[in-house]
Structure 1
Amino acid sequence: MASSPWMDPLRRQARRLQRRWQMLPLLDRWLWAEMLGPLLFGVAAFTAVSLSVGVVFELVRKVAEAGLPLWAAGKVLALRMPGFLVLSFPMATLMATLLAFSRLSGSSELTALRSIGVKTWRMVVPALVMAGLMSVLTFVFNDVIVPSANYAASNTLDNALGRALSAQTGKNVVYSRFGRITPKQPGGDAGEGLTQLFYSKEFKNGEMQGVTLLDFSREDQQQVLTAQTAVWDDDKAMWEFRDGRILNIDAASNFTTSADYTSYYYPFTRAPLDVGMLPSDAAQMTVAQALRAEALLQQAGDQKEARRLRVRIQEKFAFPAICLVFGLIGSSLGVRPNSRTSRSQGFGISVLLIFGYYLMSFIFSSLGIKGTLWPFFAAWMPVFIGLAGGVVLLRQASR
């Protein structure tokens, strides 16, 4: 039977991969095979539990009470699954290493390896390699797949319930700009300070609604613009304020003049539009979007939100490293002589360790948002503490 032309390259590639796999040390291949089953079981188990608690019950309630169509509920469930898969990767890594090494230790297979001179740290190396691969997979999921999937899930749910697209709305948009203030007298120097303060009650369907702009760019005059709506004009690179009033205040005499308008163009940055379009949840942002959002918040003078976002950015890098931490801890616990842990016990131990780790992460994250810790340390201290604990456990198991 003649083979298809497109099948031959696939077969050659498969044979090359098989040869490379067989070139790896037998010990590594054996231990990876032992960990694969518990790893897949852990991913399935933890994803099912977290998805049920986090999404399924809420969707069932919306179907029963709000009339959410079943097709929409199923689509939202599928789109939210990557986010819970990411959460299950570190848990599954801990469970896989703990169960695999505990079973091998309980059956004295690790004792046999020690009798022929294999060091304990060498047994743990395959687990760390697997944990490193899971860390990379977690980062890719968390930065490439999860933000867009969560974004699509929110839009699908809002559309199905008849609400406006969440990506097109933002509440209480505030943006402040600092720069040089024009002095009263030519050649004078008024220094630098706040030049404009832009506020909108809501950004919806491409429009700023309930807009107020305070202009302090001139030392001798302040200006207040109010408008029902404001729209960014790309061609003119200006904001068009619609249906509002402009108020001018003379700084020397406090004399005011005002005028109503139906359309008024004001030269200003489009940054308020970017702020309004930002997702409200950092989980819906990629690293690049989060960095852009942090820069906008910094420019707008919102130091608290900018600091919170800096912590979240560091956590996007620190979170995948949890796989490495749990891989080290799980293998160090399981590689101990005469260690025997059943699947149910491993699940329970994993839940306890995970709860303790996430509690510690929450505490450090809160300290970082408050400003007590630098964002880097707020995100990475749990990782450093976890790695240190894993090294201590490995040293104890090596005695």
Structure 2
Amino acid sequence: MRLLDRYLLRELLIPLFYCLSGFLVFWISFDLFSELDDYQQRGLRTPEIARLYLIKTPELLVVVLPIALLLALLYALTTHARHQELTAMRAAGISLWRFTAPYFAVGVVFTFALFALNELWVPKSVEAVEAILHRSSTAQSTDPGGRWHPKLHFHNARHGRFWSLGAFNLDTFEMKNPHVSWRASDRTERSLNARRAVRTNETWLFLEVEEFTYRTTGEVDTTPMKTNALVVPEFTETPEQIKSEIRINQLRSLISPKGAQLSLSEILNYLRLHPDPSPKDFALLQTQLHGRLAWPLTCLVVVLIAIPFGAASARRNVFVGVASSIFICFVFFILMRLGVALGSGNWVTPWLAAWLPNIAFGGTGLWLTARVR
């Protein structure tokens, strides 16, 4: 690595650290004041609240990382421009693209980091936060049996099975009052009722079971098969697929949980159960899928936006460049949210709704960067 690259990186990473820390402190403080009454009602103590926000850090980083990178780039570039360092580099024969290469390298690293955070850490942190909040609630109640999702119904379209659950435990994967109807390999229609079911050895174990068989004539056996325990190996539905069904049902609802969104694994799990979703569900899933892929690239778009405004001539008003760039990024984030809403509602082609802000603003940033003198 050249001495110049090390210098530029050092001058970027220091303000980046301060911007990132400042945004995290601001975001945590804002969220804490908003949720403090709820935490007090749940009986959370200070160490538990601190642990909760430590776990939520990946979720917060996904939001603040592009913004912090933008401000750090603007600060670093305007500082270099004010001290005529950029002019000296250009006079020494170093092109704009060459001395901004370290910034693009940081943008690429942050793109991969943001993707990893979004897909590997954020889903786990959301689950962990929900578990902490649930434990604090059940500690004051008489039912500490884990997180239960009531009345779940779903259809495994790939294998033709209909499931109806009285309740599903998100922690232990236990089912209450499961009912399953399906067509067996011998072409007979069957239905199964059980008092409960548990997950063991990668299969579902049904307890206190009644199984009905419907003949091809439409008649049902009057004496169902009864047993205390039954394992049905052909039931290949996994807890992760059931949880993805719950998440997508929540996202469909008019009042979805705070911060509800889908990871790529949840989308793929749902599509394994529903290979031919309805047009409305297809639009929702495709928009979410492309949105998850497009969001990490925001870090590269931010670099393209910052360079033409931060690296402008020192004769230009620095405040104008910074304010213009921040305004453009604000419009970018608004358009991204608007695109997701339009794509999810099937008003705009899903892939276009998710990628258009990146394409439009990235292209504009490239054009403006090429015009920098």
**TM-score tier (shorter):** 0.7 to 0.9
**In structure 1, what is the equivalent of residue 177 of structure 2?**
210
Q: Is the 8 A contact 2:262 2:288 kept in 1?
A: no
Q: Give the distance between the partners of 2:61 and 2:204, measured in 1 at CA.
A: 44
1:106-185 correspondence to structure 2 within 5 Å: 106-162=82-138, 165-166=146-147, 169=149, 172-178=152-158
Per-residue CA deviation, residues 173-204 of structure 1 (Å, 9 max, x unaligned), is 4132456xxxxxxxxxxxxxx4x322223212
Task: Provide, for residues 322-352 of structure 1, a one-character-per-residue CA deviation record: whole Å limited to 9, x for no partner.
Answer: 111001111111112223436x994x65653
Aligned partner of 2:361 in structure 1 is 386
User: Contact 1:69–1:160 at 8 Å: present in 2 too?
Assistant: no
2:206 to 235, 240, 265: 240
Residue 218 and residue 104 in structure 1: after superposition, are their counterparts in 2 closer, same or farther (change >3 A)? closer
Q: Distance in 1 between matches of 2:324 and 2:150?
A: 42
Does residue 37 of structure 1 match 2:14?
yes
How far off is 1:264 after superposition? Answer: 6.0
Q: Distance in 2 between matches of 1:335 and 1:114?
A: 11
Out of 156, 162, 177, the residue aligned to residue 197 of structure 1 is: 162
Q: Secondary structure of 1:101's partner?
A: helix
Runs of 4+ in 1 over 6 A off after TM superposition: 281-286
Shift of 1:293: 1.7
| Post-superposition offset of 1:49 | 2.5
Looking at structure 1, the residues matched to 88 and 125 of structure 2 have their Cα atoms a distance apart, in angstroms, of 47
The answer for the alignment partner of 2:29 in structure 1 is 52
State the structure with bigger RCO (CA 8 A, min sep 6), 1 or 2: 1
Query: What is the distance in 2 between the residues matched to 1:35 and 1:42?
Result: 11
Match of 1:8 in 2: none
State the distance in 1 between where 2:146 and 2:321 align: 45
Q: Give per-residue Cα distances to partners, 1:252-294, cap 9 Å, x unaligned.
A: 466773648463636331305442344738989765x336424
2: CA distance, partners of 1:198 / 1:231: 15
Matched, 1:361 2:327: no
Partner of 2:251: none
SS in structure 1 at match of 2:119: helix
* Paired residue type of 1:355: F
Q: CA deviation at 1:80?
A: 0.5
Taking a change above 3 Å as real, the CA distance of residues 109 and 65 of structure 1, as seen in their structure-2 partners, is same
Distance 1:389 1:154 in 2: 41
The answer (yes or no) to whether the contact 2:336–2:354 under 8 Å persists in 1 is yes
Cα distance in structure 1, aligned partners of 2:278 and 2:240: 15
Q: 1:331 to 1:225 in 2, by over 3 A?
A: same
Q: 1:371 to 1:210 in 2, by over 3 A?
A: farther
1:395 offset after TM fit, Å? 2.6
- Pairing 1:275–2:251 present: no
Residues 1:397 and 2:368 aligned together: no
Question: Is 2:208–2:226's contact at 8 Å kept on the other side of the alignment?
Answer: yes
Shift in alpha-carbon separation, 1:302–1:164, aligned structure 2, 3 A? farther
Q: Any stretches of 5+ residues in structure 1 without a counterpart?
A: 1-20, 180-193
Q: Which residue of 1 aligns with 2:57?
A: 81
The secondary structure found in structure 2 opposite 1:270 is coil
- Give secondary structure in 2 for the equivalent of 1:397: coil
Secondary structure at the aligned position of 2:43 is classed as: coil
Cα pair 1:66 1:161 within 8 Å, conserved: yes
Is 1:316 equivalent to 2:316 in the alignment?
no
Distance in 1 between the 2:345 and 2:273 partners?
16
Question: In structure 2, what is the Cα distance between the partners aligned to 1:258 and 1:375?
Answer: 51
Structure 1 distance, partners of 2:326, 2:191, is 57
Amino acid in the other structure paired with 2:48: A
Which of 1 and 2 has greater Rg? 1
TM-score if structure 1 supplies the norm length? 0.74
Task: Tell me the amino acid that sits aligned with residue 202 of structure 1.
Answer: A
Which string of whole-angstrom CA distances, capped at 9 and with x for unpartnered residues, describes residues 344-399 of structure 1? 994x656533432222112222343334555544433222122101012213323x
Are residues 1:66 and 2:42 paired? yes
Distance 1:220 1:295 in 2: 25
Deviation at 1:65, TM superposition (A): 2.9
Match of 2:198 among 231, 243, 253: 231
| Counterparts of 2:371 and 2:302, CA distance in 1 | 17
Task: Look up the match of 2:222.
Answer: 257
C-alpha separation in 2, matches of 1:69 and 1:198: 40
Question: What is the rounded CA distance, in whole Å, between the counterparts of 1:73 and 1:284 in structure 2?
Answer: 23
Query: Is the CA contact 2:156–2:274 (under 8 Å) kept in the aligned structure 1?
Result: no
Contact 2:267 2:289 in 1 (8 A): yes
User: What runs of 5+ residues in structure 2 fail to find an aligned partner?
Assistant: 139-143, 249-258
In 2, the alpha carbon distance for the partners of 1:258 and 1:301 equals 37
- The structure-2 alpha-carbon separation of the partners of 1:327 and 1:271, relative to structure 1 and needing over 3 Å to count, comes to same
SS of match in other structure, 2:222: strand
- What amino acid is aligned across from residue 38 of structure 1 in structure 2? P
- Secondary structure of 1:172's aligned partner: strand
CA separation of 1:321 and 1:275: change in aligned 2, threshold 3 A: same
